[in-house]
């Protein structure tokens, strides 16, 4: 059984969704520290031949876990995001289909950032027919930290294999995985170039960019194609 885990992201990029599809079980993390200026509260869309960063404003408080973060609705961020998406994807092939989704989510009064991000993640999972079991971390009482936390997640979900992003190579203790008889692999999403109605491909955008231009069937095919992934050897670095 293969396990993956990650913090919730706002309008996540294709690599996170590809990783979610690759594993059997995926735990989304809300009881870990919120990182300022991270993808947990922002992401990028296309803006002509460039990119545009959309950020969800958050309230300043003493709570640092992702699940505690509250959205600052004193600013009209939903209107700004909606208009930016509307303007930059009006000529895309699947504009009508996905603007309905954004009309829906921006009509709601979101208070917690995690609730907004869970809603978006569930929509993407259903849209792309991803069969991975999605599990909130609130289902567990974790007691460990750092690498031992990863081992604990595997033990509590009866998983014999754990998948980490390439960017975590510096801190993952492969010897600890071997000691606990859990297989470990690093994974990296190799960006697939798809038509964007631009002269030059604009990279590292939200998966909704792919959905707007390619539609659900082609996006599903891209996300589920293992040729678009680099995977390390077992218990080795990539």
Residue 238 CA to residue 196 CA, distance in Å, equals: 30
Q: Which of 186, 147, 189 is nearest to 165 (CA)?
A: 186
Residue 37 confidence (pLDDT): 82
Residue 62 confidence (pLDDT): 67
Q: Using CB atoms within 10 A of its CB, is residue 99 exposed (0-12), middle (13-18) or buried (19+)?
A: middle
Residue 36 confidence (pLDDT): 83
Residue 63 confidence (pLDDT): 64
- Domain borders along the chain are 19-231
Map tokens 């190799």 to a residue.
190
Low pLDDT (below 50) residues in the chain: none
Residue 88 confidence (pLDDT): 97
Pairing relationship of beta strands 2-7 and 161-165 according to DSSP bridges: parallel
pTM for the model stands at 0.95
Residue 215 confidence (pLDDT): 98
DSSP three-state, residue 66:
helix
Residue 60 confidence (pLDDT): 81
């Amino acid at each position: 059984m293969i396990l993956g885990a990650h913090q919730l992201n706002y309008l996540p990029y294709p690599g996170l969704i590809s990783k979610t599809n690759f594993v059997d079980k995926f735990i989304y993390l809300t009881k870990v520290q919120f990182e300022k200026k991270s993808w947990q509260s922002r992401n990028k869309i296309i803006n002509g031949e460039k990119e545009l960063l959309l950020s969800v404003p958050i309230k300043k408080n003493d709570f640092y876990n992702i699940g505690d973060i509250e959205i600052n609705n004193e600013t009209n961020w939903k209107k700004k995001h909606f208009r930016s998406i509307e303007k930059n994807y009006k000529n895309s092939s699947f504009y009508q289909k996905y603007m309905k989704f954004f009309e829906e989510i921006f009509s709601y009064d979101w208070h917690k950032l995690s609730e907004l991000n869970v809603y978006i993640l569930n929509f993407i999972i259903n849209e792309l027919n991803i069969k991975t079991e999605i599990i909130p971390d609130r289902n567990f009482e974790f007691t460990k930290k750092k690498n031992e936390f990863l081992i604990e997640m595997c033990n509590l979900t009866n998983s014999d294999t754990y998948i980490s992003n390439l960017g975590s190579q510096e801190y993952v203790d492969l010897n600890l995985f071997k000691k606990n008889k859990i297989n470990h692999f690093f994974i990296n999403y190799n960006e697939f170039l798809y038509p964007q109605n631009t002269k030059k491909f604009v990279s590292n955008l939200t998966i909704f960019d792919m959905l707007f231009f390619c539609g659900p069937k082609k996006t599903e095919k891209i996300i589920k194609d293992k040729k678009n992934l680099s995977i390390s050897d077992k218990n080795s670095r990539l």
